[in-house]
Structure 1
Amino acid sequence: MKIIQNFTDYHEKTPLALSIGMFDGVHLGHQSIIRKLNAISEKKNLESAVLTFWPHPRTIFNPNDDLKLLNTLDEKTYLLQKNGIRHLFLKEFDEAFRNLNGEEFVRQILVKKLNVKHLIVGYDHTFGKNKSGDFSLLRKMSDECGFKVEQVEAVDFHEKHISSTQIRNALAVGNVKEANEMLGYIYSVSGKVIDGKKIGRTIGYPTANISSDPLKLLPKKGAYIVEVFVKNRKYKGMLSIGTNPTVNGNSLSTEVYILDFNEDIYGEEISVNFRDFLHEEIKFENIEKLIERLDEDKKLTDNFIF
């Protein structure tokens, strides 16, 4: 997949089949758009392309909004490539760009700069300053500007449209199973193993402290059953997101106990797949009660069918 940033070095005139959006999560709704895009590009001998924005426009409009994303940029790039996209345009949502109205965006960007011949948009897609562009405008301009446009219907889950917001909401309450169903794959978090307080090793449960991307959304505080990937090997694990209230912790950490594992992995990059929610974060009366619960969680994790 070819990655083009800000159009600066893009001077090709390759005719494109394009879709536009944040594609945060590259969930089942996005995948439906991509399948349509790939089918059109193959049928019409066009290159498939996605135009997305980095950083997220909400961080520009609402700089105080502590927005967390389903995908890091690397994750989103990987998922789009995996789904068959040939060109990825990463556009910074700068002042000049955000001031383009819908019609200017179509003429200057889609037609003149990118040579779009077929455009696929989602059911609720809007664009341009003050959301002045929509499917109705695209349909009106398509004949004059020499491109075709199609709108893809929403994909539903439990009678609701799948969206990045719905998935964030599911993760915010610890419902990783529902989030995974809407994503069409298993939600994961990656990061380097860093030094922690090393309390776990004193009670028989040494954990790997994961330093993840600060923009990456972590599920709700609590304990989870996870798959852990270390040095291309897969293990079962029990992961905790929280502040370790039993030992009077006060900073948020993501720690994973890896079953049947005893290696020094400080500095290693690891990733975890969230498979099930075990329980809320608990402040136990004492360390003994904590160990009892860890023993119980370990049994549940060991017996979990991956």
Structure 2
Amino acid sequence: MIEKDAKRAIALGYFDGVHRGHQALMELAVKRAKENGAISSVFTFDAHPDTVITGQRVPLIVSESRRGEEIRERGGVDEVIFAHFNDEMRNMEWQKFVDDVLVGQFHACWIITGENNHFGYRGQGNPERLKAECERLGIGCDIVKNVSIDGVVVSSTYIRQQIAMSNMEQAAKFLGHPYALTGVVQHGRQVGRTIGYRTVNLELPPEMQAPPFGVYVSRVVANKEAHIAVTNIGVHPTFGLGDKACVEPHILDFDGDLYGKLIEVELLHFLRPEQQFSDTEQLKRAIAQDIAQTRAYFAQEHK
């Protein structure tokens, strides 16, 4: 139980996807917390500010329900503070946000942010102003430089673009971990078992950056065990079952019951687009080829 008045080293940002740049901020927050006998914290918002401000939905790399856990797991911080991004927060002057919220309410003794982060009314708070304000208040401040890979700045925007183009390896390179979809296994339409390939079924969270419909080499993590899988994302055009997209991994060499279980589906490599087949025999041949390619992928990975 974290004491209400505990002092905190706070990493400031939205942290969608917890990529390599985010991890650099949080690693520093953990370090500063240890140095100052403080709690390592992330301060973020319950909705993406750009979505609220522009009215245009920003597709997310991690689902809203999963983001807090993802930040704690990958960032190693003690706590995640979710603030409600409403009109009051949107219109708050940057200095008031630092003085009254981060320091006054959450007792920040150190604030860490990225060199491109802007906050407060109309984004008027910037790293230079934050640094000066922290000095005035007598607390620590770190401005973390952008992390770049092959000359490209690591950013959630760039990673979303890679996911949208099914470049799963490039997305993983910049995230520092595979792109994953997480959800509770539901009863599906039982299509897979009718053709000899049982699948587990997840809904595709509507707020997420959806990868292109198609078939992916994947890894399913269930009950803390990882399994090789072939995952179809799409709407079953061969069977004409409607337009509601779902995520359906066929787990290789597995015969357990995962209904009602929380699982994670890591998408590792794009195999082919979803396509409509003329008959189920043609579909079964394609799935058999998908499975062979998936086994070859993992065999090559472990050479």
TM-score by structure 2 length?
Answer: 0.89
The question of whether the paired residues in 2 share the 8 Å contact of 1:192 and 1:212 is answered with no
1:1-306 aligned within 5 A: 2=2, 11-12=4-5, 14-63=6-55, 65-73=56-64, 75-82=66-73, 83-251=75-243, 252-305=245-298
User: In structure 1, the residue corresponding to 2:278 is in which secondary structure?
Assistant: coil
The question of whether the paired residues in 2 share the 8 Å contact of 1:224 and 1:278 is answered with yes
Offset at 1:262? 2.8
Offset at 1:11? 4.5
Q: Structure 2 vs 1, CA of residues 195 and 86 (structure 1 numbering), >3 Å: closer, same or farther? A: closer
Q: Which moved more, 1:177-186 or 1:225-234?
A: 225-234
Offset at 1:212? 4.5
User: In structure 1, the residue corresponding to 2:231 is in which secondary structure?
Assistant: strand
Offset at 1:130? 0.7
Offset at 1:47? 2.4
Offset at 1:232? 3.7
Tell me how far apart the structure 2 counterparts of residues 15 and 231 of structure 1 sit (CA, whole Å).
Answer: 36
The question of whether the paired residues in 1 share the 8 Å contact of 2:213 and 2:274 is answered with yes
Q: Structure 2 vs 1, CA of residues 203 and 17 (structure 1 numbering), >3 Å: closer, same or farther? A: same
Amino acid at match of 2:216: Y
User: In structure 1, the residue corresponding to 2:47 is in which secondary structure?
Assistant: coil
TM-score by structure 1 length?
Answer: 0.89
Deviations 1:24-83 (A, max 9, x none): 1111001111122222222233322211101222332244x3433222345332333333
User: In structure 2, the residue corresponding to 1:219 is in which secondary structure?
Assistant: coil
CA RMSD of superposed structures (Å): 2.1
* 5+ residue gaps, structure 2: none
The question of whether the paired residues in 1 share the 8 Å contact of 2:114 and 2:127 is answered with no
Offset at 1:164? 1.0
Amino acid at match of 2:116: D
Percent of aligned pairs sharing the same letter = 29
Offset at 1:100? 0.7
Amino acid at match of 1:172: A
Amino acid at match of 2:34: E
User: In structure 2, the residue corresponding to 1:181 is in which secondary structure?
Assistant: helix
Partner of 1:7: none
Q: Which moved more, 1:21-30 or 1:264-273?
A: 264-273
Q: Structure 2 vs 1, CA of residues 106 and 265 (structure 1 numbering), >3 Å: closer, same or farther? A: closer
Tell me how far apart the structure 1 counterparts of residues 138 and 106 of structure 2 sit (CA, whole Å).
Answer: 13
Amino acid at match of 1:85: V
Amino acid at match of 2:288: D
The question of whether the paired residues in 1 share the 8 Å contact of 2:20 and 2:174 is answered with yes
Tell me how far apart the structure 1 counterparts of residues 256 and 37 of structure 2 sit (CA, whole Å).
Answer: 51
Offset at 1:273? 1.4
Give the count of matched residue pairs. Answer: 297
